[in-house]
Amino acid sequence: MEILAFGVQADERPLVEKAFAPHHDVRCLDVFLSEDTAPIAAGYEIISTSVNASLNNRVLQTLAAGGTQMIAQRSTGFNNIDLQVAERLGLTVARVSYYSPYSVAEFAWTLAMAVNRRIVRASNRTRDFDFRLDGLMGRDLRGRTAGVLGTGKIGEAFTRIAHGFGMNLLGWDVAENPECVALGMKYVDKDRLFAESDLISLHVPLLPATQHIIDESALRAMKDDAILVNSSRGGLIDTDALVRELRAGRFTGVGLDVYEAEAGLFFLDKSLEVVEDDTLARLVTFPNVVVTSHQAYYTVDAVSQIIETTVQNVLDYQAGRRSENVLVPAAPAS
Ligand SMILES: NC(=O)c1ccc[n+]([C@@H]2O[C@H](COP(=O)([O-])OP(=O)(O)OC[C@H]3O[C@@H](n4cnc5c(N)ncnc54)[C@H](O)[C@@H]3O)[C@@H](O)[C@H]2O)c1
């Protein structure tokens, strides 16, 4: 059987082909699944999709009408899939519920250090043979305070690295993580975390309760020279409020791997188009801000795990096995 995989980046393609090879042929497309591209899936019983695919009502209707029965999503998040419609259409949907939290935690640190030590500006200067140090002064982190919002798998990995830097550790979560407590983390309320932290990193999921958890009052409560990093979901931050605070000259640095209006932008080459998003356009002009396009998970280790689990999800579906990765079960046989 041939599987159709949408949204496969050039780096990923050999990993996808190798993982599927013992079991199935796979046709890799670099285009993402959308209303325009869904007709390509006609005749494929099993397809695989990526984090930025749009699996809305119309796309799912097109897939079902073309004979698709199983969707193997290559991500943990599934907010891009209308699960109720998939269920009604009898489609099986599976995702990857676990992969390396180190990929994201290490990237959050990469952003934190890049803004702290002005790495982007320094690199731009040396390319121009400008070897001055003015404007590149950073800060030691040893003895300063890291505030971690969300101390699950990624937050814990982030905390271990903060511990390695010799930082004081503050945490906020609905549940304490004993591994973080063992590292010396003190759980405090959000307001105290904002007020006392020199570095704040976000690792809670995006839920109604966490939407814009970093709003104007949260930003105002932070130290003027704090570093803020978001490698979780863009909707955690009220970006317009962040832009207002940045315009006022606040924060040592802000590192963003995610942005609340990233859909339709991130993962795509928009370099030849007029940018219509004024907030993003303003954001990237600040010298103390680094924006990356949702690449925190993008390591060979995490991507390999994602693909291997996707292959296993396909094999489980074919064998009629259920696993924790199944979001929508196949319609029961009548
Ligand atoms: N940028 C990327 O490439 C990328 C990749 C993977 C994950 N992520 C993001 O990272 C997030 C965290 O992933 P994880 O694997 O650590 O998840 P996790 O489930 O292990 O941890 C989430 C933590 O948030 C806490 N939490 C949940 N709801 C909360 C609430 N309302 N208030 C306070 N705390 C709450 C949970 O108790 C848990 O400790 C994901 O939800 C996702 O948004 C980003």
**Which is the catalytic residue, given 294, 308, 321, 322?**
294
Count how many domains the chain has: 2
**106 shares its domain with 165:** yes
Angle subtended at Cα 53 by Cα 213 and Cα 93, rounded to the nearest 5 degrees: 95
**83 shares its domain with 145:** no
Which atom of ligand 1 lies closest to the CA of 233? 43
Q: Which pLDDT band, with edges at 50, 70 and 90, does 329 fall under?
A: confident
Q: Which pLDDT band, with edges at 50, 70 and 90, does 159 fall under?
A: very high
Any domain includes 334: no
The label of the residue with tokens 């009604």 reads 88
Any domain includes 121: yes
Domain range for 52: 2-99+299-328
Any domain includes 333: no
**282 shares its domain with 319:** no
**85 shares its domain with 172:** no
Provide φ and ψ at 239, rounded to 5°.
Answer: -65, -35
Task: Tell whether ligand 1 has an atom less than 6 A from the beta carbon of residue 296.
Answer: yes
**116 shares its domain with 175:** yes
Please state which of the ranges 57-61, 102-106, 205-209, 286-290 shows the lowest mean pLDDT. Answer: 205-209
- Cβ within 8 Å of residue 269, ≥6 positions away: none
**201 shares its domain with 164:** yes
- Mean pLDDT (whole number) for 226-233: 97
DSSP-derived letter for residue 32 is P
**150 shares its domain with 75:** no
Mean pLDDT across the chain? 95
Q: How far is the CA of 96 from the centre of ligand 1 (A)?
A: 14
Q: How far is the CA of 153 from the centre of ligand 1 (A)?
A: 8
Name the percent of the chain lying above pLDDT 70.
Answer: 99
Q: What is the CATH number of the domain that holds 140?
A: 3.40.50.720
Which atom of ligand 1 lies closest to the CA of 177? 39
Any domain includes 31: yes
Burial tier of 269 (Cβ tally within 10 Å: 0-12, 13-18, 19+) = exposed
Residues 243 and 330: their CA atoms lie apart, in Å, by 46
Q: How far is the CA of 305 from the centre of ligand 1 (A)?
A: 18
Q: Is the pLDDT of residue 330 over 80?
A: no
Is the CB of residue 26 less than 8 Å from the CB of residue 20?
yes
Q: Is 24 a catalytic residue?
A: no
Question: Across 59-167, where does the E strand assignment appear?
Answer: 70-73, 92-94, 145-149
pLDDT of residue 256: 98
Q: Is 262 a catalytic residue?
A: yes
Any domain includes 50: yes
**208 shares its domain with 305:** no
Question: How remote is the C-alpha of 210 from its chain's centroid?
Answer: 15
Q: How far is the CA of 138 from the centre of ligand 1 (A)?
A: 29
**80 shares its domain with 33:** yes
Is the CB of residue 228 less than 8 Å from the CB of residue 206?
no
Handedness of CA 318, 321, 327, 328 (dihedral sign): positive
Which atom of ligand 1 lies closest to the CA of 232? 9
Question: Across 116-231, where does the E strand assignment appear?
Answer: 145-149, 168-172, 186-187, 199-202, 227-230
Q: Report pTM.
A: 0.92
The residue length of the chain stands at 334
DSSP-derived letter for residue 217 is H
**What are the respective helix, strand and coil percentages of the chain, to the nearest 5?**
35, 15, 50
Q: How far apart are the first and last CA of the chain?
A: 25
Task: Tell whether ligand 1 has an atom less than 6 A from the beta carbon of residue 171.
Answer: no
Task: Tell whether ligand 1 has an atom less than 6 A from the beta carbon of residue 238.
Answer: no
**118 shares its domain with 151:** yes
Q: Is 294 a catalytic residue?
A: yes
Any domain includes 181: yes
pLDDT of residue 46: 98
Task: Tell whether ligand 1 has an atom less than 6 A from the beta carbon of residue 174.
Answer: yes
**274 shares its domain with 198:** yes
Any domain includes 242: yes
Residue located nearest, by CA, to atom 44 of ligand 1: 232
Task: Tell whether ligand 1 has an atom less than 6 A from the beta carbon of residue 210.
Answer: yes
Task: Tell whether ligand 1 has an atom less than 6 A from the beta carbon of residue 203.
Answer: yes
Residues 314 and 70: their CA atoms lie apart, in Å, by 8
Residues 310 and 325: their CA atoms lie apart, in Å, by 9
Task: Tell whether ligand 1 has an atom less than 6 A from the beta carbon of residue 262.
Answer: no
pLDDT of residue 52: 78
**133 shares its domain with 267:** yes
**Which is the catalytic residue, given 74, 95, 203, 233?**
233
Q: Which pLDDT band, with edges at 50, 70 and 90, does 80 fall under?
A: confident
Q: Is the pLDDT of residue 331 over 50?
A: no
pLDDT of residue 283: 97
Q: What is the pLDDT of residues 257-272, one digit of tens each?
A: 999 999 888 988 999 9
Q: How far is the CA of 9 from the centre of ligand 1 (A)?
A: 25
Is the CB of residue 149 less than 8 Å from the CB of residue 192?
no
